[in-house]
Chain A
Amino acid sequence: MPRRRTLGDPVMIRSRFPVHVLVFIAPALLIYTLFMVYPLADSIRLSLYTLDEAGKPHFAGLANYVTMLTDPEWSGPFWNALGNNFKFFAIHMLVQNPIALVLAALLSLPRLRLRNTYRTLIFMPTMLSVVIIGFVWQLILSPLWGVSASLLDLVGLKDWFEPWLGQENTALVTLSLVSVWQFVGIPMMLLYAALLAIPGDLEDAALVDGANALQTFVYVKLPLIMPTVGLVSILTFVGNFNAFDLIYAVKGALAGPNFSTDIMGTFFYRTFFGYQLQAGNPTMGATVATLTFLIILVGLAVYLFGVQRRVQRYAL
């Protein structure tokens, strides 16, 4: 790789502060600070306060965090939501990303016809509103009006049908799979783009060496797209821990049955805004939000130092 020139290079003759750089950075910096950094910092600040009866904030240090992690009334729901969130993430990693990889590999087959049609169709659900997704899947899976029961009946598996969205042991998995169905297009596109970037002569060389299609994929292409696989994993992680809308649209803020579909997003919503007779608690809500932020931060750090720096990159 050619080394890029930096400010310290001797090529730079004038050492005057490059004002124009500031001008170019300023709009993005301002918008990012105003809409991302400031709210995030303020939310962290809010989590260090408690509100009294009259709604006045009082500084409380880390008291909210102690309550959240030690009081069983708070820590119970917190660990439950966190555990569910990891399950939600695990299903995406084990189902969504492998499927996306296979789809991307199939799409990049040279002799595939109707490639663009498939690509568009698979990507389509990603662009639909989550409310529509939730509604459609509830209808499909509905024990009363849904087609899934009659479809199973057609192949003689009627007994296998269950109200999957309503049972404690199946609701979270079902919702995760709906989410997988919706979002599989994004990792597929990223991986597909990475596969396209692999020069054809590498493939030809493998062919000359006597490798079949599968071997070419596993030993030549896969190592080359590893950085993208890592990127997809971390995007999935961040996306899953910020997830909220599908669960809220299908199960509501109480994330039933018995909180079996509660994830960090719904737990935060219930805590911050309140629900029915439960009054909202902005400071505890901010605590949940900050903890979620920290979890994502730790995940990112693990990826950055543990994975990304070790992944071998090949100049193509």
Chain B
Amino acid sequence: MNKHARTAFAVLAALAASQALAAGATLRIESWRNDDADTWNDKIIPAFTKAHPDIKVVFAPTPPADYNASLNAKLAGGTAGDLITCRPFDASLEMYKKGQLLPVNDLKGMASFDEIARLAWSTDDGKTTFCVPLAAVLHGFIYNKDAFAELKLAPPKTLPEFMEVLKKIKADGRYVPMALGTAEQWEAATVGFQNIGPDFWAGEAGRKALIAGTQKFTDPQYVAVWKELAAWGPYLGDGYKAQKNADSQNLFALGRAAIYPAGSWDIPVFNQQVAGSFAIGAFPPPLPKAGDTCYISDHTDMGIGINAASKNPEAAKVFLEWLTTPEFAALLANHLPGFFPLARHKIAIEDPVAREFASWRETCQSTIRNSYQILSRGTPNLENQLWNVSAQVVNGTLSPEQAAKTVQDGLDKWYKPAR
């Protein structure tokens, strides 16, 4: 049904696009979020056209895996849309360097973004920003509230408490303590290493120190993160080494696992799959020691910029300006729970789990994944290495010290920090 609806929609969108072209004033958005097409078409774009009836906007998504390649081809061929949804960091920076994206510094609304929100779409010197930051994803842990109540457990605040909770769930035997697999490798790095890690390396301070070369992955605060991951193995499901992300999601959604290391992007998935059969909650990454400052991975994931070849740059600017408003932020937060607006507006989020995630922004310091800015430009690729070694550490086939050494050696191969 959904498939048919989507096909029908695609046909309609194509028709609408051709008609709008005839009218002469239309903006086409290139995006990889085809999952969110309904939200854009039914909620976000109508809200914009209400305020700006003279500008037509068409959302034209591509499947995520094809997005980068097809966008590059379209940009090269001059057929890309007016607005480009920007991947964070190098993919978009590359486009800006090739002159395919316009700077957006002069938008009034840019003042409502912090430096860290703009970082993913700014030049290395931070002077020019070329995409309006749209959404971030947060990392944390989602848990089965009913299971916790049944076992009389409270969400852990510190990592020792966290291990204690895992031990108790395992001893009870009714639930798999934690739903995490290493078959796809990325989970160990993204919702493992980058999830609990910022508390160890003090978020932005540690991330910037890695880029400056004053800290190394072999330093104790990084090795400690892998040591934590190395202890997870016994608390994962049977055969977790062959467990894929969809398996982990099913394991949790079927109520068979108590804790799920999550990205906020999992919220809509669980809202749909769990569908009220048990209560779900979320807790932030547990701290190494009680009373430490908490840091969360508040990862800038999506921005939107203007195609330099657009025939309607003025209309595009009007649209981008609107994307910086509280109105858009509220639409995004409530219709795409799990994707959080990056502008500093106070937004009331309706979804309870998403609200819990967002509340950590008040109490904790935000940082982004430490491998994304600058450090993943060379060979070997840092992000891929982090996936590989983190999965191996969880599997128990690599020691935390070896993991740290592998990653640092790889980085030293090509990265010479500016001193």
Contacts and interface: CB of A to CB of B under 8 A. Distances in A.
Interface residues of A, number: 34
Interface stretch (A4-12, A83-91, A273-281, A289-297): A273-281
B241 A163 contact: yes
Interface string B361-383: 00000000001100011011111
Contact of B244 (A138, A254, A273): A138
B384 A278 contact: yes
A264 to B, nearest CB: 18
A165 B183 CA distance: 8
Contacts of B181: 166
A166 B183 contact: yes
A256 B243 contact: no
Contacts of B241: 163, 166-167, 257
Nearest to A271: B379
B305 interface: no
Contacts of A144: 237-239, 243, 247, 250-251
Interface in B366-415: 371-372, 376-377, 379-384, 387-388, 391-392, 395, 397-398, 410, 413
B182 A277 contact: no
A258 interface: yes
A275 B239 contact: no
Contacts of A281: 379
Interface in B215-256: 237-244, 247, 250-251
B383 A254 contact: no
Contacts of A53: 97
A252 interface: yes
A181 interface: no
A143 interface: yes
B98 interface: yes
Contact of A252 (B91, B184, B238, B376): B184
B321 interface: no
A54 interface: yes
Contacts of B92: none
Contact of A163 (B242, B377, B382): B242
Most-contacted residue by chain B among A53, A276, A281 (CB, 10 A): A276
Contact of A55 (B98, B183, B398): B98
B182 to A, nearest CB: 7
B98 A278 contact: no
A239 B394 CA distance: 35
A148 B181 CA distance: 19
Contacts of A278: 376, 381, 383-384
Contacts of B5: none
B383 A143 contact: no
Contact of A142 (B89, B97, B247, B380): B247
A142 B89 CA distance: 36
B182 A254 contact: no
B98 A279 contact: no
A276 B206 CA distance: 23
Contacts of B383: 276-278
Interface in A245-284: 251-252, 254, 256-259, 273, 275-279, 281
A281 B378 CA distance: 11
B324 interface: no
B185 interface: yes
A173 interface: no
Given A254-B185, A254-B384, A277 B243 contact: no
29 contacts: A73-B380, A73-B410, A142-B239, A143-B242, A144-B238, A163-B238, A165-B183, A166-B239, A166-B241, A167-B241, A168-B397, A251-B183, A252-B184, A252-B185, A257-B182, A257-B185, A257-B392, A257-B397, A258-B388, A258-B392, A258-B398, A276-B186, A276-B387, A277-B371, A277-B376, A277-B381, A277-B382, A278-B376, A278-B383
* Closest 3 pairs between A and B when the two form their complex, measured CB to CB: A143-B239, A166-B241, A166-B242
